[in-house]
Structure 1
Amino acid sequence: MMPATERPDEPAAQGPAGTQTLIRGLRVLEVMAVQNRPIGVGELSRLIDLPKSTVQRLLRTLGQEGWAEMSSDPTTRWRLSPRLLALARTGAPWKTLREAAIPHLAALGARTGETIHFSVLDRDVQMVLIDRVDSIHPVRTFNAIGASTPLHTSASGKAVLAMLPLDEVERILARPLEKVMPNTSTDPRHLMHQVLEAKERGYAVNISENRPHVCAVGAAVAGPGGRPVAAVTISMPDVRFEPARVPEWGAWVRDTARAITDTFTD
């Protein structure tokens, strides 16, 4: 693939120019959110596979409208603005869902001492982290707010899949699946077996399938219609992951997910 800096800044191949610009701007915001640090134009250009001139124009527009801002680093870098971060935390319906979850996430964090993640379902593609309770341990797992994970690689994603009708699960698993880590399964039959296990137990497990040396146990949260909308997970380094404790952790995270569901749908 030709580097983005060497490609001409050509117009959109299809669709209205305004729509293409909007999509590119949203991609810029998405990548900035996942990086969770100030980022330069050149790095953004490589990550998004767009010319630097296009990325620079998008950033200037986002900055003018108050959605991004330049950091005070010696080298010019960009970050999300407080306005956008505030909007993400206050937008409905996730505000209501997050508010319903907060006390239950805190209780689970106190009970386990491990990192607790709360993620929402983004379409039927990925999970996006919207809240986190940090572990009490010096060595702990960390995932930035706004980070996304494919459904097939995470405990939260597999827990959500386990709450969907099987025909939907089959359709999702029939897509090309990325092998993120050596432990990541991309075999639809093997993944369906994991989903069916999670459906029976009420929780799913991830053993270094999305990030190295990170394990998790997760359960899905249902919305008012009974469909999954989110998931809560206990995340820990593999040095503290004990297979014998999985049923115990699974029961805790399953009960927490049910409590959030009851609060959210009350």
Structure 2
Amino acid sequence: MGTVTKALELLNYFSRTKPEIGLVEFARLAGRDKATVHRHLVELEANGFVEQHPQTRAYRLGPAILRLTAVREATHPTRRILRPIVESLAAEVGELCHTSLLQGDMLSPLFHSDPMVHGTQVHFDEGEMLPLHATSSGLSVLAFSPPDVIDRILSQPLKAYTDLTLTDPAFLRSVLDDIRQSGLCNLDQAFDREVSSVGGPIFGPEGTPIGALAVAVPAVRASREKMDEILNALRGAIRQATTSTGGILPRGFAVLSETPPSRPPQPNEV
């Protein structure tokens, strides 16, 4: 990992629950010594990517992030295009809906909407990266990714986020085959023990995934009827999200997505 990558990686530790991070905590999170982390933070601060609170001296995201976000959205207005689709889907199904974009080997959340019509809601942090092997968004993207990407992801150590996270590479390949048959992924409590979700890929101009669209439901409310309702709504939203961002659905995807996806079985069930 190069010096620039190590410095920029520190930015990924910021989230809504961690808007400010001190040097000691940064060193703990990154697993590096304080002198090295401080050197990286000094470089980031000099270029406007972070700034220090004048009293606490903790670091927070800097103005350069705002400038680059504005440039990105002005030239590639993905958030502006996907926001009404996400809000419409959330209102239709009455549950939290979120969209994310592929960033390396993970998904970076872009926008989420919750109509707040229930007493129990899903907590969603747009600052938290989503793993490809443990989320419905990630697995749906992985299923339609090139073979070399699938091989790379499944050859890495796969973290278990809950006791239901699928981590066996051979078993995950069979799950990906099932997802390709339906176009969508229905996943129970694999990333968060209290959440079930349904996700599908958003395709780019080459017909390969650039991101995902998903609906997250508290597990206690994830009845078969509820999830079927979400599946039907999600299919149309995925088509709209793909075409609205200039993408192309791969051949056969529209037909395959008419088949309801089944919940991936657990290894001890087969």
Q: SS at the partner of 1:152?
A: coil
Whether the 8 Å CA contact 1:155–1:219 is kept in 2: the answer is yes
Match of 1:32 among 14, 17, 38: 14
Q: Which deviates more from structure 2 when the two are superposed, residues 51-60 or residues 99-108?
A: 51-60
Match of 2:259 in 1: none
Count, aligned residues:
246
Question: Partner of 1:11 in structure 2?
Answer: none
8 Å CA contact 1:34–1:148 kept in 2: the answer is no
Deviation at 1:151, TM superposition (A): 0.5
- Name whichever of 130-139 and 84-93 sits farther off: 84-93
In the alignment, which of 125, 131, 142 is matched to residue 111 of structure 2? Answer: 131
Separation of aligned partners in 1, 2:75 and 2:154: 26
> Does the CA-based 8 Å contact 1:33-1:80 persist in structure 2?
no
Q: Tell me, in whole angstroms, the C-alpha distance in 1 between the residues paired with 2:153 and 2:131.
A: 11
| Worse-superposed segment, 196-205 or 74-83 | 74-83
Residue from 73, 97, 113 that aligns with 1:116: 97
Q: In the superposition, relative to structure 1, how do residues 42 and 261 fare at CA in structure 2: closer, same or farther (>3 Å)?
A: same
Q: After TM superposition, what 4+ stretches of structure 1 lie above 6 angstroms from structure 2?
A: none
Give CA-to-partner distance per residue, 1:168-204, whole Å, 9 cap, x none. Answer: 4345323321222111011123212222222222211
Partner SS state of residue 131, structure 1: strand
Give the Cα–Cα distance (whole angstroms) in 1 for the partners of residues 10 and 223 of structure 2.
39
TM-score between both structures, scaled by the size of structure 1:
0.82
Q: 1:50 aligns with which of 20, 26, 32?
A: 32
Percent identity between the aligned chains?
28
Determine helix, strand or coil for the equivalent of 1:216: strand
The residue number in structure 2 matching 1:177 is: 158
Structure 1 residues 137-190: Cα deviation after superposition (integer angstroms, max 9, x where no partner): 343223322321210100001111222245643453233212221110111232
Aligned to 1:263: 244
DSSP 3-state at the match of 2:89 = helix
Q: Deviations over 1:105-135 (max 9, x none)?
A: 1110111221111111123x11111111134
- Alpha-carbon contact 1:206-1:215 (below 8 Å) kept: yes
